[in-house]
Amino acid sequence: MLRVAAVQHDIVWERPAENFARLAPLVAAAAGRGARLVACTEMFSTGFSMASQRIAEPEDGPSSGFLRDQARTHGVWVCGSVPVRPRGADLPHNRLLVAAPDGSLRHYDKIHPFSYSGEHEHYAAGDTSLTLDVEGLRISFFVCYDLRFADEFWVLARETDCYVVVANWPRSRRAHWRTLLAARAIENQAYVVGVNRVGEGGGTQYAGDSMIVDPFGEVVAEAPPVECVVDAEVSAARVREVRERYPFLADRRPPSAVGARESSADPEPRRP
């Protein structure tokens, strides 16, 4: 059993220091409620800005330092995404960082930049998933637009008890956010923690709708449309229970099998 907290917060546009000051008491509140993993949003220190050349930080920059300091101070795991330029890279990454209680860091680079807004022109795509054992719970991490790509979640399902999705998801598509969070939980029979911002940034409005969905698709915690912390107990035993009672994952065809189907566009089937 692990208590997980979603920190739903506003973001001061491209002002990291002000965002650190805003977030610190919220992280402290989450830790004070017993959370062992505290999730902040996508680009928690800058907002979803395409000015990547100006705002990107080195790998040991102030935003990663903030996460490490918070993790050490409260003895918890803390995550959120940051614009990071790795040494020698042409483009920065939209990088989700997970800080452990000892201050060590692991990362996941957003696999699917949001091309609709031109993110792919300013941030490089990642190519590696991240699943961590956090105090006995297997957690896989994703960033915002990744939520639309079910196959990324499917391939990790058997090794995942809980997915964490950090986001800056706009109010105009809030129905998609809510529906897809529930869908990813139901189809993978795992918890999904969705962490979204509120307020306005770069001309876009954000509604929040942070929530925690259980492996059967039930919403067990949901945020009102203001800055706040929502949390819930997440249980590997509950995941096992749902999967044993409803063994749907065993019927899922591997991607290679699905891709091997003969195309219906062929003019006629081949015959021996």
Kindly report the CATH number assigned to the domain that includes residue 173.
3.60.110.10
Tell me which residues are annotated as active site: 42, 110, 144
Task: Please give the pLDDT value at position 260.
Answer: 47
Tell whether the model's pLDDT for residue 269 goes beyond 70: no
Banded model confidence at residue 253, pLDDT cuts 50, 70, 90: confident
Tell whether the model's pLDDT for residue 262 goes beyond 50: no
Task: Please give the pLDDT value at position 267.
Answer: 42
Whether the CB-CB separation of 197 and 40 falls below 8 Å is answered with no
Task: Please give the pLDDT value at position 268.
Answer: 44
pLDDT one-digit tens code per residue, 196-246: 999 999 999 999 999 999 999 999 999 999 999 999 999 999 999 999 999
The kind and range of the H/E element at 70 are: helix 62-74
**Three-class SS of residue 133?**
strand
Task: Please give the pLDDT value at position 255.
Answer: 64
Task: Please give the pLDDT value at position 46.
Answer: 98
**Token pair 């957690």 is at which residue?**
139
Tell whether the model's pLDDT for residue 163 goes beyond 90: yes
Is 270 part of any domain? no
> Residue 131's domain spans which residues?
2-252
Is 48 part of any domain? yes
**Counting runs of H as helices and runs of E as strands, what totals does the chain give?**
8, 14
Whether the CB-CB separation of 103 and 67 falls below 8 Å is answered with no
Residue 170, Cα to own-chain centre: how many angstroms?
15
Is 63 part of any domain? yes
Number of folded domains in the chain? Answer: 1
Is 230 part of any domain? yes
Task: Please give the pLDDT value at position 264.
Answer: 42
Is 260 part of any domain? no
Tell whether the model's pLDDT for residue 256 goes beyond 90: no
Q: Check residue 47 and report its DSSP letter.
A: -
Angle at which helix 62-74 crosses helix 16-32, to 10 degrees, equals: 20
Cβ–Cβ contacts within 10 Å for residue 267, how many? 4
- Average the pLDDT over 188-193 and give the result: 98
Q: Check residue 170 and report its DSSP letter.
A: B
Task: Please give the pLDDT value at position 200.
Answer: 98
User: CA torsion sign, 17 to 21 to 22 to 23?
Assistant: positive
Is 121 part of any domain? yes
Is 265 part of any domain? no
Taking the C-alpha atoms of residue 237 and residue 235, their distance in angstroms, rounded to an integer, is 5
Banded model confidence at residue 247, pLDDT cuts 50, 70, 90: very high
Q: Across the chain, where does the E strand assignment appear?
A: 2-8, 37-39, 77-84, 93-99, 105-109, 131-134, 137-143, 162-167, 191-196, 198-201, 204-207, 211-213, 219-222, 228-234
Tell whether the model's pLDDT for residue 78 goes beyond 60: yes
Banded model confidence at residue 259, pLDDT cuts 50, 70, 90: very low
Task: Please give the pLDDT value at position 254.
Answer: 73
Is 175 part of any domain? yes
The tokens for 129 are 């998933």
pTM of the complete model beyond 0.85: yes
